Amino acid sequence: MSTPRTEHLVLPGVLTAQEAAATVRGLLGQQRADGAIPWFRGHHLDPWDHTETAMALDAAGEHEAAARAYAWLARHQNPDGSWYAAYQDGDHERPCDRAKESNFCAYVAVGVWHHYLATGDDTFLDTMWPVVYAAVEFVLRLQQPGGEIGWKREADGTAVPDALLTGSSSVHQALRCALAIAEEREEPQPDWELATGTLRHAVRRHPERFLDKSRYSMDWYYPVLAGAVTGGEAERRIAERWAEFVVPGLGVRCVVPNPWVTGGESAELALALWAVGESDRALEILQSLGRLRDPGTGLYWTGYVFEDKAVWPREQTTWTAGALLLAVAALGGDQATCAVFSGAELPRGLDDADTTADCCRIH
């Protein structure tokens, strides 16, 4: 196993160089020989978290391991451009949830663009372009007349039109990365540009088009993290519910009012804070996650029930460590990670001013 490149993953009060290297080794130890990255050994794999962890490996310089993760996605893509929602660990040819979730399928575009920015590997981009193209087309067939993205297709192929704000926001980031790939390849995708603009309009201006999941912190910060809500509007959004979701010194609640803070949501909020220029508060959030770290494995427990002073559940998820590494990489100035999450260099698609609520592709 190689020595991880972790100098930019050192952050005061969060990770030393030795701790960062141990975390990366922990993630590499969870990856299967075929490239699959389950939540943890013995649990399932889902395509979104698999991709997020691959991005964390790229941020640590483990490009070969990340490439194997993307090769796994390419081999397991369904003919319609999708992936199943979950695959059984130890038997990754066998899906254990045959639904096809739109944001799970779209996120490959974020990972592929991140890997390309980290490596400059043109051959990789050529190989993965058909994968990204098919995935985006699958997702956009679930876009609704109001711009939002239907949550999933059921196992029998039935489209679910109900949309999730977090999922649609994630798709927004993925579409911008897909447009960046198309631009790099000089293959314009005007339909994608229109879809991105109408989706952003829905996320920013039409909360009524999404299922009410406002108890979940992800619905609070994800429109900011995904670049759909920016500037002063993003700052106001974060400020409005800060006291509800952030527990000082502990992290971010997954769901209000439950006394449970989670590492993944905390790290993602830190990324969102960094994206709006609040690096000091991002650092404070990341520093609060030390109690979730297992010094033996270098990995992180999923969450902490603070009323009981207990780690729960008793699982160390790859995506929790992956989210933390990506947040640290952004604060540390890793170029690829900054480019993907700042959004400053990503194509916007059509501006909101050029779209209307009903001006999107109808399928």
% of the chain exceeding 70 in pLDDT = 95
pLDDT of residue 219: 98
pLDDT of residue 2: 52
- Of 1-15, 80-94, 145-159, the one with minimum mean pLDDT is 1-15
- Domain assignment present for 363: no
Residue 236, exposed/middle/buried by CB under 10 A (0-12, 13-18, 19+)? exposed
| Beta-carbon contacts of residue 351 (< 8 Å; ≥ 6 apart) | 197
Mean pLDDT of 224-229: 98
Residues 99-123 as b/e (b if ≥16 CB within 10 A, e otherwise) read: bbbbbbbbbbbbbbbbbbbbbeeee
pLDDT of residue 8: 80
- Domain assignment present for 361: no
Residue 64: alpha-carbon gap to chain centroid = 20
Please name every residue paired with 216 in a beta bridge, in sequence order, or none if there are none.
Answer: 255
Count: domains in the chain: 1
Report the alpha-carbon distance of residue 11 to residue 332 in Å, rounded: 7
% of the chain exceeding 90 in pLDDT = 93
Mean pLDDT of 105-119: 98
Q: Residue 176's domain is classified under what CATH number? A: 1.50.10.10
pLDDT of residue 5: 64
Q: Please, are residues 38 and 30 in contact by the beta-carbon 8 Å criterion?
A: yes
Helical axes 122-140 vs 190-205, angle rounded to 10°: 60
Confidence of residue 285 (pLDDT cuts 50, 70, 90): very high
Secondary structure letter of residue 2 according to DSSP: P
Position 3 pLDDT exceeds 60: no
- Domain assignment present for 111: yes
DSSP symbols for 17-62: HHHHHHHHHHHHHHS-TTS---SSTTS-B-HHHHHHHHHHHHHTT-
Q: Using DSSP bridges, classify how beta strands 150-153 and 86-87 pair: parallel, antiparallel or unpaired.
A: unpaired
Mean pLDDT of 111-138: 98
10 or 360, which is more confident: 10
pLDDT of residue 145: 97
Residues 175-192 as b/e (b if ≥16 CB within 10 A, e otherwise) read: bbbbbbbbeeeeeebeeb
Q: pLDDT for 293-348, tens place per residue?
A: 999 999 999 999 999 999 999 999 999 999 999 999 999 999 999 999 999 999 99
Q: What angle do CA 206, 212, 217 make, to 5 degrees?
A: 100
Q: Using DSSP bridges, classify how beta strands 251-253 and 260-262 pair: parallel, antiparallel or unpaired.
A: antiparallel
pLDDT of residue 191: 98
Domain residues for the domain of 192 are 7-353
Q: Kindly report the pTM of this predicted structure.
A: 0.96
Helical axes 165-184 vs 217-225, angle rounded to 10°: 20
Confidence of residue 351 (pLDDT cuts 50, 70, 90): confident
Mean pLDDT of 134-162: 98
Instruction: Compute the mean pLDDT over every residue in the chain, rounded to the nearest whole number.
Output: 95
- Domain assignment present for 362: no
Mean pLDDT of 114-140: 98
Confidence of residue 362 (pLDDT cuts 50, 70, 90): very low
Confidence of residue 363 (pLDDT cuts 50, 70, 90): very low
Mean pLDDT of 248-261: 98
| Beta-carbon contacts of residue 309 (< 8 Å; ≥ 6 apart) | none
pLDDT of residue 4: 57
